[in-house]
Chain A
Amino acid sequence: MNIDDELRDHVERETLENIEAGMPPEQARAAALRKLGNVLLVAEETHAVWIWQWLEHLRQDLAHAARLFSKSPGFVAIALISIALGTGANVAIFSAADGLVLRPLAVARPHELVAIGNRGRNGVFRWLSASYPDYRDIRARSHSFQDIAAYTNERVGVAIVRGATPEVRFATLVSGNFFQVMGVVPVAGRGFIAEEDRVPGRDPVTVISYGTWRQEFGGAADVVGRKLWVSGIEFTVVGVTPEDFTGTEPTRLRQALYIPLAMWPRLSKLPAKSPLEDRSLRYLTLKGRLHPGVTMRAAQAELDPIGADLERAYPATNKNQPLSVETEFQYNVERRPLDAGSVAVLSILSIAVLGVACANVAGLLASRAPVRAREIALRLAIGASRARLVRQLITESLGIALLGGIAGLGVGYLGILFLQQLRFPSEILTMPAFQMDRRALLFSLIIAMVSAFLFGLSPALQATRVDLSRALKNSDTSTERRVRLSGRNLLVSVQVALSLVIVTLSVYIFQIFEHDVMQGPGFRVTQIAKIDAAPSQAGLSRTKEIEYFEKALDAARRLPQAGHVSATSAMPLFHFQFSSLVPEGYPLPPGIDAIAPNSGSVAEDYFATMEIPLLAGRDFRVTDNASAPLVAIVNEAVALHYWPGENAVGMRFRKGRADGPPIEIVGVAKNAKYLFVAEPTQEFVYFPFRQEPRGEMTLLMQTSGSSATGITPLREAVRTIDRGVPLRDAHTIELFFDAMARSLGRITLTLVASMGVIGVGLTMIGLYGLVSYAVNRRTREIGIRMAVGAAKAQISGMMLRQGMAPVWIGLVMGSGLSTAALGMLPWLVPVSLRYDPRFYILVVPALILTTGLAALIPSNRASQVDPAIALRAD
Chain B
Amino acid sequence: MSTRDPRLEILQGTLDMLILRTLLFGPAHGHAIAKSIERQSAETLQVEHGSLYPALHRLVKRGMLMAKDGTSENNRKSRFYSLTAKGRRYLLTEASKWDRFVEAIARVMKPASL
Contacts and interface: CB of A to CB of B under 8 A. Distances in A.
A17 B35 CA distance: 11
Interface in B38-52: 48-51
Nearest to A43: B53
B50 A36 contact: yes
B54 to A, nearest CB: 5
Interface residues of B, number: 21
Classify the secondary structure of B's interface with A: helix
Interface in B17-53: 29-31, 34-35, 48-51, 53
A50 interface: yes
Given A6-B78, A9-B79, 4 more contacts: A5-B77, A12-B76, A17-B35, A50-B57
Nearest to A33: B49
B99 interface: no
A9 B50 contact: no
B69 A49 contact: no
A38 interface: yes
B2 interface: yes
A356 to B, nearest CB: 44
Contact of A6 (B50, B53, B58): B53
A7 B61 contact: no
Contacts, number: 61
A3 interface: yes
27 contacts: A1-B78, A3-B57, A5-B77, A5-B79, A6-B53, A7-B53, A9-B31, A9-B78, A10-B49, A10-B53, A12-B76, A14-B31, A17-B35, A35-B49, A37-B1, A37-B2, A37-B50, A37-B51, A39-B50, A42-B50, A42-B54, A45-B53, A46-B57, A49-B57, A49-B61, A50-B57, A50-B61
Contacts of B48: 37
Contacts of A9: 29-31, 76-79
Given A13-B31, A53-B61, A6 B1 contact: no
A14 B78 CA distance: 13
B83 to A, nearest CB: 19
Interface string A505-520: 0000000000000000
Nearest to B68: A1
A386 to B, nearest CB: 18
A50 B54 CA distance: 10
Contacts of B30: 6, 9-10
A41 interface: yes
Interface string A31-72: 000011111011001101110010000000000000000000
Interface in A1-37: 1, 3, 5-7, 9-10, 12-14, 17, 35-37
Contacts of A12: 76
A9 B53 CA distance: 12
Contacts of A13: 31, 76
Interface in B53-93: 53-54, 57-58, 61, 69, 76-79
Interface string A521-559: 000000000000000000000000000000000000000
Nearest to B56: A46
A352 to B, nearest CB: 46
A10 B58 contact: no
Contacts of B61: 49-50, 53
A1 B70 CA distance: 10
Contacts of A38: 50
A563 B33 CA distance: 104
Contact of B53 (A17, A46, A50): A46
Interface of B: 1-2, 29-31, 34-35, 48-51, 53-54, 57-58, 61, 69, 76-79
A385 to B, nearest CB: 13
Contact of A1 (B2, B57, B79): B79
A38 to B, nearest CB: 7
Contacts of B29: 9
Contacts of B1: 37
Given A36-B50, A37-B49, A10 B57 contact: no
Nearest to A9: B78
A41 B51 CA distance: 10
B19 to A, nearest CB: 14
Nearest to A42: B50
Interface of A: 1, 3, 5-7, 9-10, 12-14, 17, 35-39, 41-42, 45-46, 48-50, 53
A1 B56 CA distance: 14
A43 B53 CA distance: 8
Contacts of B57: 3, 46, 49-50
B31 A3 contact: no
Given A1-B69, A6-B30, A9-B31, A36 B49 contact: yes
Most buried by A among B2, B35, B69, B78: B78
A124 to B, nearest CB: 63
Contacts of B49: 10, 14, 35-37
Nearest to B32: A13
Q: Would you list the 3 A-B pairs with minimal beta carbon distance, nearest first?
A: A37-B50, A42-B50, A13-B31
Nearest to B62: A53
Given A1-B69, A9-B77, A53-B61, A41 B31 contact: no
Contacts of B69: 1
Interface-centre pick from B76, B77, B79 (highest chain A CB count, 10 A): B79
A405 B49 CA distance: 47
Nearest to A48: B54
A204 B1 CA distance: 71
A4 to B, nearest CB: 11
Nearest to A37: B50
B5 to A, nearest CB: 12
B99 to A, nearest CB: 27
B55 to A, nearest CB: 9
Contacts of A37: 1-2, 48-51
A40 to B, nearest CB: 10
Contacts of A5: 77, 79
Contact of B50 (A1, A14, A41, A53): A41
Contacts of A42: 50-51, 53-54
Nearest to B78: A9
Contacts of A45: 50, 53-54
Contacts of A53: 61
Nearest to B34: A10
Contacts of B2: 37
A374 B42 CA distance: 54
Nearest to B70: A1
A14 B30 CA distance: 11
B114 to A, nearest CB: 47
Nearest to B69: A1
A810 to B, nearest CB: 50
A14 B35 CA distance: 9
A82 B46 CA distance: 60
A10 to B, nearest CB: 5
A745 B34 CA distance: 78
A234 B57 CA distance: 75
Contacts of B53: 3, 6-7, 10, 42, 45-46
A1 B31 contact: no
Contacts of A1: 69, 77-79
B72 to A, nearest CB: 9
A806 B76 CA distance: 72
A10 B30 CA distance: 7
Contacts of B34: 10
A824 to B, nearest CB: 54
A234 B51 CA distance: 76
A49 B54 contact: yes
A365 B48 CA distance: 51
Q: Which among A3, A5, A12, A37 has the highest number of chain B CB atoms within 10 Å?
A: A37
A745 to B, nearest CB: 63
Contacts of A17: 35
B63 to A, nearest CB: 12
A660 B76 CA distance: 90
B86 to A, nearest CB: 13
A270 B79 CA distance: 79
